[in-house]
Structure 1
Amino acid sequence: MNKKIMLTGGGSAGHVTVNIALIPKLKERGWSIGYIGSHNGIERELLSQVENVPYFPISTGKLRRYFDWNNFKDPFKVLKGTFEAYHLIKKEKPSIVFSKGGFVSVPVIVAAWLNGVPTIIHESDITPGLANKIAMPFATKICVTFPETLPHVNEQKGIYVGAVVREELKQGSADKGRKHCQFEKGKPVLLVMGGSLGSKRINDALRANLQTLLADFQIVHICGKGNIDPKFAAEKGYKQFEYVHEELPHIMAMADIVLSRAGSNSIFEFLTLKKPMLLIPLSKGASRGDQILNARSFKKSGYADVLMEEELTNDSLREAIYQLYRNKANYIENMTRSQATDALHTLLSLIEETSKQ
């Protein structure tokens, strides 16, 4: 059997990290791997650090739910990307395509269908995003992270697999994390993450409370590209990073509590590591509302507290952080009882089965 797979997905780190988690396991099973992404997306940057996975860039456009003049140009970019992906897949002859979503994946899934190559989509959120909605009719299987997602997809194609969490995140060392951040042992650590692009509102509210919070916490702040504030560079107990790669498992291991957006991949990583979390989902005005649904699901399960962006003020953020820390034992107990599935193994088996169809 030709054990060659094409991975795709991009636009945000969440659409890439699952693919990166799959790559070493696929290699162990003898798969030859290629990656189709955009010319300038974050997926290209992240894949540049992965050895022996050729990267194939194609044209892509963003399909928006709102009016924008680019809506008139971008469908032509998608068509061009489909043409490029069609010829690429025809030349490379993969036996299967696996997609994590994002707009770059739409032309790839359509091109695979045109070539008669089976495809698997993995949907992270409770309700499918626009890119996956467009691609789903052309997919062979649709894997979902939340059981609540199954009614939103074709029942013949839909499979609940759960969340894929990178194995290396489970191997973190709190001591190495403290050493990397020059933190002392014994004082609680607050980890703040605003998603791969950062969050100005979260960053600003956190920094407005910095002096108060530093009396009780050491803070590691992954603030997003271009969001480091030099005014706080010398602040003891406060470390800022634009983005973290190799050190992330260690930083997560040392964290006592987490303040984060509510992207599916991140919150399931925190759940796996049993990190009590305060979630501030992207507002409906800035997104389609998927993070709000993710956050509500985690709050209902007792894994997280939620502060809506509309209610985010300097005072409300400070109070919510202290409340989370006071109740952290309850969240850890609830997370210990969670019925997490071995999604990585399930997906690998599904890839093997579907590639033979």
Structure 2
Amino acid sequence: MTMTKPLAKRVAIACGGTGGHLFPGIAVGDALVARGCEVTLLVSPKEVDQTAVKSAYGMDVEPLPVVGLSGNLPKFTFRFFQSLGHCRKLFREQRPSVVLAMGGFTSAPPVIAGKMMGAKIFLHEANAVPGRAVKLLSPLADEVFVQFPDAMSGVSGAGVRATGMPVRATMEPIPKPDARTVLGLADDQPVLLVMGGSQGAESINQAMIDALPRLAKSLPKLQYIHLTGNRELNPVREAYDALGLRAVVRPFLTEMEYALGAADLAVSRSGASSLAEFSAMELPAILVPYPAAVDDHQRLNARTFVEMGAARCFHQKQLTSKLLLTQFRELFRKPNTLKKMSEAMRRWKADQATEEVVQRIYEVCQWENPEMDDLFIPVPKPREVAA
């Protein structure tokens, strides 16, 4: 097969594995498509990826074999080279000018394949501590973007820029009554959002189930949005139904702007993408970092938000129904406290993160300024589609 010439603006974005990698990648992809670029999302075959990419308008989607660094070195090596071969074949057919990797070992094969073909390489590190993939791949990169300025010192071999975290264009504050109405909730009653990241969190789910009977008595007007992950949907839903509580219980929600817009408070892991979206939507949070996260990065992510006064943080060992009940009683009975936390959360908001990433890609590639493009393709927002 003959190698095609690279298009002036063809970008491959490696962003599979978790929502924390995928949604920022889609955000950048949306902005690039709107400027006339051809964008391919390289994702995993996981259900969360395949569900989320349904909101990726105007982009091609290519699943890659999952590459995860684990104790099974032969399996990792086989899948790595399988994925690398898939990327090289794809790039021969549709040669990219740019490969942007959003972190995780799924990023490695596209970055290496892209480098071999002369593409410009960009990485984005979302966490307060750079991950192993970004550390290993950074010498190949033309530029590395980070969300947390403290992460800059952990990246070597490339220009490093603190941009914040790209978030989807729909992540902007919505009037709470409007968001609640869309989800079928009462528009004038408080809402608690419970989530464990894109794949759920068993410990958070169980602590909430245990807290619900007393919570229903203490805060009878409280409404709930609970995103359980795929494995625990039924027992969580049954717990709410048994108490007759008004709750939206789903495994996963693609249009997260409605859930974040409807809520007054979130209970969540402290993944980098979730924190950036909380900030964009000015939503205070109780954070329970995933204790097995590499380099304890979720705790370090959370620390920044606790120090700002935007969140409270508890170790998973502290997580009990009694703790949740105490926190919810205090916060929902003191609206001024929630308001101050919301105002603090707003201070982390990186309104221009997506635009800054796109602008740097254009500058490094010496493409014309995005504002000067002749071709502009408007990307429909989910709210517009739903309407």
1:243 aligns with 2:252: yes
State the distance in 2 between where 1:178 and 1:137 align: 46
Give CA-to-partner distance per residue, 1:305-326, whole Å, 9 cap, x none. 1111121112122222333443
Letter in 2 for 1:328: L
Calculate the TM-score normalised by the size of structure 1.
Answer: 0.91
Correspondence for 1:300: 307
SS class of match (2:199): coil
CA contact (8 A) 1:192 1:219 kept: yes
1:277 aligns with 2:279: no
CA contact (8 A) 2:100 2:122 kept: yes
User: Which of 141, 147, 150 is 2:149 aligned to?
Assistant: 147
After superposing the two structures, state which structure 1 stretch, 335-344 or 101-110, moved more: 335-344
Calculate the TM-score normalised by the size of structure 2.
Answer: 0.84
1:121 aligns with 2:130: no
After superposing the two structures, state which structure 1 stretch, 252-261 or 182-191, moved more: 182-191
SS class of match (1:168): coil
Letter in 1 for 2:343: E
SS class of match (2:230): coil
CA contact (8 A) 2:181 2:187 kept: no
Give, in angstroms, the shift of residue 340 of structure 1.
3.5
After superposing the two structures, state which structure 1 stretch, 174-183 or 155-164, moved more: 174-183
Unaligned runs of 5+ in 1: none
Unaligned runs of 5+ in 2: 1-6, 368-387
State the distance in 1 between where 2:211 and 2:290 align: 21
The alignment of Structure 1 onto Structure 2 pairs a total of residues equal to 351
User: Which of 201, 220, 224 is 1:219 aligned to?
Assistant: 224
CA contact (8 A) 2:135 2:156 kept: no
State the distance in 1 between where 2:296 and 2:322 align: 25
Change (3 A) 1:47 1:182: closer
1:6 aligns with 2:12: yes
SS class of match (2:194): strand
User: Which of 318, 325, 335 is 1:311 aligned to?
Assistant: 318
Change (3 A) 1:125 1:324: farther
Give, in angstroms, the shift of residue 219 of structure 1.
1.2
State the distance in 1 between where 2:157 and 2:340 align: 36
SS class of match (2:105): coil
State the distance in 2 between where 1:73 and 1:342 align: 40
State the distance in 1 between where 2:274 and 2:260 align: 11
SS class of match (2:167): coil
Change (3 A) 1:34 1:150: same
* Aligned pairs for 1:33-44 within 5 A: 33-40=39-46, 42-44=48-50
Letter in 2 for 1:44: Q
Change (3 A) 1:112 1:337: closer
Change (3 A) 1:177 1:243: same
CA contact (8 A) 1:18 1:164 kept: yes
Correspondence for 1:19: 25
State the distance in 2 between where 1:57 and 1:237 align: 38
CA contact (8 A) 2:128 2:147 kept: yes
Q: CA RMSD in A?
A: 2.1
Letter in 1 for 2:146: V
Letter in 1 for 2:251: E
Change (3 A) 1:205 1:306: same
Letter in 2 for 1:245: T
State the distance in 1 between where 2:59 and 2:116 align: 24
SS class of match (1:288): helix
Give, in angstroms, the shift of residue 40 of structure 1.
4.0
Q: Identity of paired residues, percent?
A: 26
Correspondence for 1:54: 60
Correspondence for 2:270: 262
Letter in 2 for 1:331: M
CA contact (8 A) 2:11 2:99 kept: yes
Letter in 1 for 2:85: F
State the distance in 2 between where 1:320 and 1:250 align: 24
Correspondence for 1:352: 362
Give, in angstroms, the shift of residue 8 of structure 1.
0.9
SS class of match (1:227): helix
Change (3 A) 1:306 1:171: closer
Change (3 A) 1:181 1:336: closer
Change (3 A) 1:233 1:22: same
After superposing the two structures, state which structure 1 stretch, 267-276 or 34-43, moved more: 34-43
Give CA-to-partner distance per residue, 1:112-139, whole Å, 9 cap, x none. 1111111111110011122222222222
Give, in angstroms, the shift of residue 90 of structure 1.
2.8
State the distance in 1 between where 2:270 and 2:331 align: 16
User: Which of 324, 339, 345 is 1:335 aligned to?
Assistant: 345
* Aligned pairs for 1:164-179 within 5 A: 164-170=166-172, 172-179=174-181
CA contact (8 A) 1:192 1:258 kept: yes
State the distance in 2 between where 1:338 and 1:144 align: 14
